[in-house]
Structure 1
Amino acid sequence: MPIPIHDPNHAPGGALKRLPLLKAAVAFIAAVCLCLCGLLFLQLEQSRRHDVESARIASANLTRAMAQQAQDTFLQADLVLASLADWIQDDGFGPSTRPRLHQIFARRVQSLEQLHGLFLFDKNGHWVVTSFERLHRGPGVADRDYFKFHQQNASLIAHVGPAVPSRQNGEWIIPVSRRLNDPKGNFQGVLLAGIKMSYFDQFFKSFNIDDQGEMALALSDGTLLARRPFDEAQIGRPLADEYVYEHQHASMGAGDTDLRPSSDGIVRLHGHRHLQAYPLVVTAAMSEQAILAGWYDRAFQSSLIVALVVLGVCLFGWVFVRQVRNSERIEADLRKAQEALELIATHDSLTGLANRRLFERALDIEFGRGARQRSSLSLIMLDIDFFKRYNDTYGHVAGDHCLAEVAKVLKACCHRKADLAVRYGGEEFAVLLPDTNLHGAMALAEQIRRSVIDKHITHSASPSGYLTVSLGCYAFVPSSLDSTEVFIQRTDAALYQAKHSGRNCVAALSREGAFDALERSDR
């Protein structure tokens, strides 16, 4: 009587045999779904960054146009004040000249649409001449900031002060003023040009920004002069608490910030630019909702498509698992396919470098080629210093990121196609260098060491405070009497000597393997 394949007392025993394959199938389906989701995430993140970068460019162009217009506006007013100041210095502003001054003031205001009016005040702040038909008879302007500024400062250059309501008719204006002196250089009065705040409001409205966007003109210290949307309560308020003034030095010409909440809770991208000729800054802010409106639509469509694909993969997997349960032949075929995939898996999934299997295969090939052509073969082995402490301090996720960063350095330093960068195991890496002598290997090793330092990866558990690596080099011309094991052992011995010498260095072992022939670069 033949021995039964299955235990007669436990009929479902076949399911136990298929259980590992079923788990592998489920894991594979889950991995495919995760990969699809990961690719979706990467695609959406790249698309989002593109949209944000496009918004940065648009913000830079917007602030540039705003700054140019603002500078032209103030420059025109300043030129008017300069010409009037020269005329007044020559002819004075006595009773006989005031009618003519009034006519000149009126013509200047008519020629510049941004001007609310021109005003002349004596040294006591009393009204002398204006561009309006009737001279204001109310209190003077001795209490105004711009008047006090010129009383206390001998400078004759134009001064831009905080926005104020005009005492002529109550309209909000931005004062641009100049000091007037008598022939002896004493304070004689103030010449003022009032720029309409409504002019900037109309100018801001000419730009197409979203309803939640903001545009503003302010003094370099953050004092608000004009704003869209207009809010009278905000005028004159210091904006020092705003992000752009916290993180951008006033001497900078232009800049922008990341998307972050504003004081009203709306997430915006802020851009600013300082005027070259005046202590003013223009700012523009676009809301995240407007910047990413198209991205949200694409994200929804892509997510829907991926969700349908994932659903299809899951349904296919369910059918596949049922087929596995019903057919041992399919199970065997899938195992063979899995083994075939394992044979062709030659790269490390975390770092993207070649794995040990590919390294051993390439080493055998290069050994044979080097023996035939009598060419030098070099090997660099490197180890991340205090990596266990790094994992203990920052966690394994950060450790994986650290390994990936070191792998990027290796890829960037290996320029030749024949060079092979390998993740040898754990935190240990190797670089196989055909047709390279010891000097060339040490030069590349030193380049790798410095490149890792230049990454400035913080490692508080390391004596240097940053992530470093130790490297060992060995080179020789292989022959039929040499073995790959000895080649690796000698390179590993050089690595050990580098670590024994204090880490963060490059060490090389002589052809004879004597440590007294050690060469080490300066740390």
Structure 2
Amino acid sequence: MPILTQDPQQTPGGALKRLSLLKAAVLFIATVCLCLCGLLYLQLEQSRRHALDVAQVASSNLARAMAQQAEDTFMKADLVLTSLVDWIQVDGYGAAQKPRLQKTFARRAQALDQLHGIFLFDKQGQWVVTSFDDLTRGPGVSDREYFTFHQQNASTLAHIGPALRSRENGEWIIPVSKRVNDKNGNFQGVVLAGIKMAYFDQFFKSFSIDDNGSMFLALTDGTLLARRPFVESQIGTSLAKGEIFHKLLPNAPAGNAMISSVIDGVVRLYGYRQLDAYPLVVSAASSRDSILKDWYDTAFQSCVIVALVVLGVGLFGWVFVRQVRVGVRVEADLRKAKEALKLIATHDSLTGLANRRLFEQALDIEFGRGARQSSSLSLIMLDIDYFKRYNDAYGHVAGDHCLAEVARAVKGCCHRKADLAVRYGGEEFAVLLPDTDIHGALVIAEQIRRSVMDKNINHNGSPTGYVTVSLGCYAFVPTGRDSIELFIERADAALYQAKHSGRNRSAVLSLEGGVEALMRSDR
């Protein structure tokens, strides 16, 4: 338990005066170095954020340009298909109309650079008219996604399907199709405009992005239609589990995010945008390493400069500290010697417990505290049973070892910082328990008794065959006019009752109506 004593040499403000020069020097040098590092961090963080902000603006503008171009591309194809569907639904596509339809298809396909070709299929999915001179007679397109979609949906809106290879010449195309109905609204076929994948590839290449950057066009369900860099095996893969489709698009149709690509794992700053008129999403991204390349170079140079400055300050501080270290070491040695003397004066050298001097100081403090707070103060006195027989049988060296083991058991049961375990004299110990009533003291006493027994220290001179202790407990609420000697005597009286009643037990002494009552708790 800590004892507060007044240092006679302590003066107001003495704590500041005692601050060692060594610590002050180290604190100053550390503060200077930390300030330099802090300023460097703030400057680098500000420049990093600026680089990212500029990149965000650039990616947003790039995504906006891509969205506008994609919307224009698909809208032109949509308008062509709308005019053709209106014509076909009025005039039909019989043998008389086929030559005219073929020429019209060819002119419309030639007028738009993005178109691979225009195709008309009947309700069985067979080729009827194409923009090519030679009509391919293949197996038909009834298995294609776009054909199945129109067959099952009465919508007259344009449908954009997953990218596929044209059966005309094997070229990758993005199909834009519309349903053809008869006069009663029944399904009669499909008109398809194939947009060249190469058209988007050339469009993507017109923008300047880094080698690890990327651009893509995808359906809103995450199906990849076109991408830069172009990797054929990636076309048609799903990006639905990516952060853009899974988290960002449901909350905002456009934005920016620094995320890792689900395709190649590269961390990029993405600008994304969902088209208003069509179920499409475009995105442009620059790799994080490319965005921060110049920042990394600047950060490296700045760190080297600051490191040199810190090294210089550190070297100066090291020289200065060495000059004062001898004095500080002498001061520390003197302080350690003082602490050692204080410990010797207040603690028992054999057991490490407090001695009677520290016990008396603690009693003075706790009597005053208990009186001010009207709190109960308890004392446990304990004695090793048949200890003289133990010394006679095993010798004084073993006796000292026995005392040390009992002391460890006593100290181990003092769980609070305020509890004080004391070697009172010889084989007698005391435990001072502030703010503890008699019931709490008895609980601690029983813990100590059992702890000593659990050590199973052999003692042939004891009836139990092992070392045991007897304990006496006393508690009262100090009033400010109490006698310390009487307090100890009453706890000692309880100890005497415990020994007189057969030892290896705890006894409690209470004063009720001037009558002493004894309570024992056997194991």
Task: State the match for 1:247 in structure 2.
Answer: 247
Greater C-alpha radius of gyration: 2
Distance 2:71 2:58 in 1: 20
Q: Taking structure 1 as reference, are residues 21 and 308 closer, same or farther at Cα in structure 2, changes over 3 Å only?
A: same
Do structure 1's residue 45 and structure 2's residue 45 form an aligned pair?
A: yes
Moved more, 199-208 or 235-244: 235-244
2: CA distance, partners of 1:179 / 1:19:
89
Query: What displacement does 1:128 show?
Result: 0.3
Whether 2:302 is the aligned partner of 1:307: answer: no
Q: Deviations over 1:35-89 (max 9, x none)?
A: 2112211211121111111111111001000000000000000010011111112
Q: Which residue of 2 aligns with 1:171?
A: 171
The offset of 1:315, in angstroms, is 2.6
* 2:239/2:262 contact within 8 Å kept: no
2:31 counterpart SS class: helix
1:406-434: CA deviations, max 9, x gaps?
A: xxxxxxxxxxxxxxxxxxxxxxxxxxxxx
Pairing 1:317–2:317 present: yes
Bigger mean CA deviation after superposition, 239-248 or 312-321: 312-321
Distance 1:250 1:128, change over 3 A: farther
Unmatched segments (≥5 aa) in structure 1 = 1-16, 329-523
Looking at structure 2, the residues matched to 72 and 280 of structure 1 have their Cα atoms a distance apart, in angstroms, of 12
Pairwise CA distance, 1:259: 4.4
- 2:129 is aligned with 1:129: yes
Report how far residue 261 of structure 1 moved: 5.9
Q: Residue 42 of structure 2 aligns to which amino acid in structure 1? A: L
Question: 2:207 matched to which residue of 1?
Answer: 207
- Residue identity in the other structure for 1:57: V
Say if 1:64 and 1:51 are closer, same or farther in 2 by CA, change over 3 A: same
Shift of 1:301: 1.1
Q: TM-score, normalised by structure 2?
A: 0.57
Counterpart Cα distance in 2 of 1:104 and 1:127: 16
Partner of 1:226: 226
Residue 291 of structure 1 aligns with which residue?
A: 291
The AA in structure 2 aligned to 1:172 is W
Q: Is the 8 A contact 2:224 2:239 kept in 1?
A: yes
Aligned partner of 1:236 in structure 2 is 236
SS at match of 1:257: strand
CA distance in 1, matches of 2:155, 2:255: 30
Amino acid at match of 1:139: P
Q: Are the counterparts in 2 of residues 262 and 268 from structure 1 also a CA contact under 8 Å?
A: no
CA distance in 2, matches of 1:252, 1:316: 56
Task: Deviation per CA, 1:420-450: give whole Å up to 9, x if none.
Answer: xxxxxxxxxxxxxxxxxxxxxxxxxxxxxxx
- In the other structure, the counterpart of 2:271 is 271
Amino acid at match of 2:184: K
Cα displacement (A) at 1:146: 0.4
- Where does 1:78-89 land on structure 2 (aligned, <5 Å)? 78-89=78-89
Shift of 1:206: 0.6
Give the C-alpha shift of residue 253 in structure 1.
Answer: 2.0
Q: 1:229 to 1:168 in 2, by over 3 A?
A: same
CA pair 263-173 structure 1, distance change in 2 beyond 3 A? closer
Identity of aligned residues (%): 68
Shift of 1:30: 1.5
Which residue in 2 is equivalent to 1:501? none
**Cα shift readout 1:195-249 (whole Å, capped 9, x = no counterpart):** 0001001100111111111110000000000011111111111111212112123
Distance change >3 Å, CA 116–CA 263, structure 1 → 2 = closer
Query: Structure 1 counterpart of 2:105, which letter?
Result: F
User: How far apart are 1:258 and its partner, in Å?
Assistant: 2.7
- Structure 1 distance, partners of 2:208, 2:300, is 26
Give the Å deviation of 1:151: 0.6
CA distance in 2, matches of 1:102, 1:261: 44
1:250 to 1:195, Cα distance in 2 relative to 1, 3 A: farther
> Is 2:108 the counterpart of 1:97?
no
Q: Which residue of 1 aligns with 2:191?
A: 191
Tell me the residue number matched to 1:144. Answer: 144
Aligned equivalent of 2:492: none
The number of residue pairs the alignment matches comes to 312
Structure 2: stretches of 5+ with no match in the other structure = 1-16, 329-523
* Matches for 1:101-500 after TM superposition, within 5 Å: 101-250=101-250, 252-260=252-260, 262-321=262-321
